[in-house]
Chains A and B, each alone.
Chain A
Amino acid sequence: MILALSRQTVRQTWRPYAGAFVALACGVVLIALTVNLIGAVEATSHVAGVSSADRTQLADLSSMFGFMAAISLFMAMFVVASTFGFVVATRRRELGMLRLIGATPRQVRRLILGESGVVALAATVVGCAAATLLTPAALWLLRDRGVTSLDLHAPAPWIAWSIAVPCGAGVALLGSWRASRRAAKTSPVAALQEAGLERRRLTFWQSVIGGLCVAIVGTVLVLSTRIEPLFALIVSILLPEVIVIGCVCFGGILFPFLASRLAAPFARRHVSARLARDHVRTAVRTPAALAAPIVAISSIAGALILALSFTADWTTALDREQLRAPLVVEAGSRAAGGRRGSDGLRRGCTHHRSRAPGAGRRDRGRRGGRPRDNRRCSRAPRGAR
């Protein structure tokens, strides 16, 4: 009965759930694609004739997709949590009415969890279908763009489905868990109240988790100059998640405060801005629910871009360091037959060379391993050595 009511509610008032549906569907697509790629890599790496370098490359590729899928599921959880937080906050009167006409707190909770289940079901069906259709295209793209030269074959689709569906359902359930608990606490009197002033009081667990996040961030900042570069890279990827969780814990106080401060210059000029600011300041849950996924997306995406750019710089610097050569000898040039100097080298075939950034990577990417210039030097006439 409650599930039927959940289904009807989502079907009739689908707009608020659209964000959660899109986020979940994207997460499911990425998870299913990852599973398919890992399956394809696993099957291909056991084929005879695949070198260990190819296997490493394929494993790295799987790791990258796995990481992207994990981040997207984390984001999806935030979007689902904020969607359902918003839905519960705006349906306070309706939930109160349900309680009044005989719904127990458990039934109200099941209603909200059922709604998230309905959204999850639609998102996983769409996500799995899209992933199954996209997998051949993704495999073709990997080969076409030169990421791998191997011919990858997609595994049976049910393997990806069997992993992506529980992931999508789990994320939906976890995301809506808190909102469903809040919904279950709705008093029947809420049905009789025109409007309720929302209180900005932190719960015990919000205070504990938020405080813990602040402590972690503070500790990392203090120790930031002493940590190893590789560890710093991992921290730079994980720390934004901690900051986001902290922001969400204190969101009921933080976001309305920030929003009202940001709106202050406009509120003096226009009555609409003043109304919007006052609404944001008093209706705590709406700005908190809206801000949470935006903060999560912007901070995590920003941190990832920064971490990746640092990694790229780091790799380039390492390549430069490794491939710097005081002398480069090229064979076959006109100068190669020049005069012999007092140090035994032919002056005409040698020149100091500082390599351009990226040259090392290009050379290293070639199969066979050795850089081009070294090979050229090895082919140089014996007398030139």
Chain B
Amino acid sequence: MTTIAPDQAATDSRIAVALDGVTRTYRSKAGDVHALRGITHVFPTGSFTAIMGPSGSGKSTLLQVAAGLDRATQGQVLVAGTPLAGLSETDLTRLRRTSMGFVFQAYNLLDALTAFDNVALPARLAGQRVARAEVLAALARVGMQDLARRRPPELSGGQQQRVALARALHSRPAVLFADEPTGALDRTSGRQVLEVLRSLSDQHGQTIVMVTHDPLAASYAHSVLFLADGQIVGRVDHADAGQIAATMNELER
């Protein structure tokens, strides 16, 4: 396993997220549970990476540790050159505002706010002036500019996910973390969301880290990391859904 020099990761703008020997252990009555066992990986700027693996392989834990939502037991995590270890809760919140975007399976938006206000919310929380044109441009990039005044209950699941993507893009984060973003969508809506994600990466250089269990969703990514027992056990680049499914089957055997 290679080790990343912290100085290199901190200064290299080509690195969006760097994980260096990251472990995460949970203590329980039944004994210690090792969710991550020494993960070292670099997510380059502009890359679209899917993380796959069987249930309990540590996919979600990896995403949470990389985003600073959970603390690594050992090892180091750098996001946009900033080491997460030692940051206070408020500092982590500020880093999330400026450098990270999030999209989940569902319930990404505040029902009380319109699509426009949901997109503008992170900037407003950060005390920044919100340029109306920029918010509308972010909505336009995901094809939602005409529904800016609607509230989430008036939008379909796929439309809500696209608004969540627009919100993530408006703050121009160093990395966009997506946890099963198509998990609650039908096939057509899911494909639209994945196409938006891919175009954001290809055309706008957006770094995306996506956890999924769906080989079809993973096929939209540039590369796929396979996790098992808290370790990276494989990787494929520019693979189609069939190849990804075959690799998953081999791992689960």
Q: Which of A184-192, A250-258, A347-355 contacts B (4 or more CB under 8 A)?
A: A184-192
A residues in contact with B151, CB < 8 Å: 12
* A224 close to chain B: CB less than 8 A: no
* A94 close to chain B: CB less than 8 A: yes
- Given contacts A1-B124, A1-B125, A102-B93, whether A97 and B108 have CB atoms under 8 Å apart is yes
Q: How many residues of A contact B (CB 8 A)?
A: 24
Q: Are B112 and A8 in contact (CB under 8 A)?
A: yes
* A271 close to chain B: CB less than 8 A: no
B residues in contact with A328, CB < 8 Å: none
Select A189's contact among B69, B125, B127, beta carbons within 8 Å: B69
Closest CB of chain B to A117's CB: distance in Å? 16
Q: Are B110 and A94 in contact (CB under 8 A)?
A: yes
Residues from 88 to 114 in A contacting B, C-beta threshold 8 Å: 93-94, 97-105, 107
Q: Are A105 and B112 in contact (CB under 8 A)?
A: no
Q: Are A97 and B122 in contact (CB under 8 A)?
A: no
Known contacts A100-B69, A192-B60; 14 further A-B pairs (Cβ under 8 A): A5-B113, A11-B112, A12-B111, A97-B110, A100-B96, A101-B122, A102-B171, A103-B125, A104-B125, A105-B93, A187-B69, A191-B107, A192-B64, A192-B104
* A13 close to chain B: CB less than 8 A: yes
* B188 close to chain A: CB less than 8 A: no
* B251 close to chain A: CB less than 8 A: no
CA distance A1 to B128 in the complex (A): 10
CA distance A104 to B108 in the complex (A): 18
20 A-B pairs with CB atoms under 8 Å apart are A1-B127, A5-B110, A8-B113, A12-B111, A13-B112, A93-B107, A94-B111, A97-B107, A98-B110, A98-B125, A100-B96, A101-B102, A102-B93, A102-B94, A102-B97, A102-B171, A188-B96, A189-B69, A191-B102, A192-B64
A residues in contact with B64, CB < 8 Å: 189, 192
Select B125's contact among A11, A13, A107, A187, beta carbons within 8 Å: A107
Select B126's contact among A8, A99, A102, A187, beta carbons within 8 Å: A102
B residues in contact with A97, CB < 8 Å: 107-108, 110
* B179 close to chain A: CB less than 8 A: yes
CA distance A98 to B107 in the complex (A): 11
Closest CB of chain B to A115's CB: distance in Å? 10
* B237 close to chain A: CB less than 8 A: no
A residues in contact with B108, CB < 8 Å: 97
Q: Are A192 and B125 in contact (CB under 8 A)?
A: no
User: Can you list the 7 inter-chain pairs with the closest CB atoms, starting with the nearest?
Assistant: A102-B97, A12-B112, A9-B112, A102-B125, A102-B122, A1-B124, A8-B112
Residues from 185 to 223 in A contacting B, C-beta threshold 8 Å: 187-189, 191-192
CA distance A304 to B125 in the complex (A): 48
* B72 close to chain A: CB less than 8 A: no
Residues from 154 to 185 in B contacting A, C-beta threshold 8 Å: 167, 171, 179
Q: How many residues of B contact A (CB 8 A)?
A: 29
- Given contacts A93-B107, A94-B107, A189-B64, whether A105 and B90 have CB atoms under 8 Å apart is yes
Closest CB of chain A to B155's CB: distance in Å? 15
B residues in contact with A99, CB < 8 Å: 93
B residues in contact with A187, CB < 8 Å: 69
Name the residue on B nearest A11 (C-beta). Answer: B112
A residues in contact with B117, CB < 8 Å: 8
Closest CB of chain A to B66's CB: distance in Å? 13
- Given contacts A8-B112, A12-B111, A13-B111, whether A188 and B69 have CB atoms under 8 Å apart is yes
- Given contacts A8-B113, A189-B64, A192-B104, whether A101 and B125 have CB atoms under 8 Å apart is yes
A residues in contact with B121, CB < 8 Å: 5, 101
CA distance A94 to B111 in the complex (A): 9
Residues from 235 to 278 in A contacting B, C-beta threshold 8 Å: none
CA distance A94 to B151 in the complex (A): 15
B residues in contact with A9, CB < 8 Å: 110, 112
Name the residue on B nearest A1 (C-beta). Answer: B124
CA distance A107 to B108 in the complex (A): 19
* B134 close to chain A: CB less than 8 A: no
Closest CB of chain B to A67's CB: distance in Å? 40
CA distance A191 to B164 in the complex (A): 13
- Given contacts A13-B112, A192-B60, A192-B179, whether A104 and B90 have CB atoms under 8 Å apart is yes
CA distance A254 to B199 in the complex (A): 55
Q: Are B112 and A5 in contact (CB under 8 A)?
A: yes
Residues from 132 to 169 in A contacting B, C-beta threshold 8 Å: none
CA distance A12 to B127 in the complex (A): 24
Name the residue on A nearest B96 (C-beta). Answer: A102
* B12 close to chain A: CB less than 8 A: no
Closest CB of chain A to B243's CB: distance in Å? 29
* B202 close to chain A: CB less than 8 A: no
Q: Convert B88-111 into 0s and 1s, putting 1 for each residue whose CB lies closer than 8 angstroms to a CB of A.
A: 011001101100001010011011
* B70 close to chain A: CB less than 8 A: yes
CA distance A49 to B89 in the complex (A): 70
Residues from 63 to 103 in A contacting B, C-beta threshold 8 Å: 93-94, 97-103
Name the residue on B nearest A4 (C-beta). Answer: B124
B residues in contact with A189, CB < 8 Å: 64, 69-70
Name the residue on A nearest B114 (C-beta). Answer: A8
Closest CB of chain A to B61's CB: distance in Å? 11
A residues in contact with B60, CB < 8 Å: 192
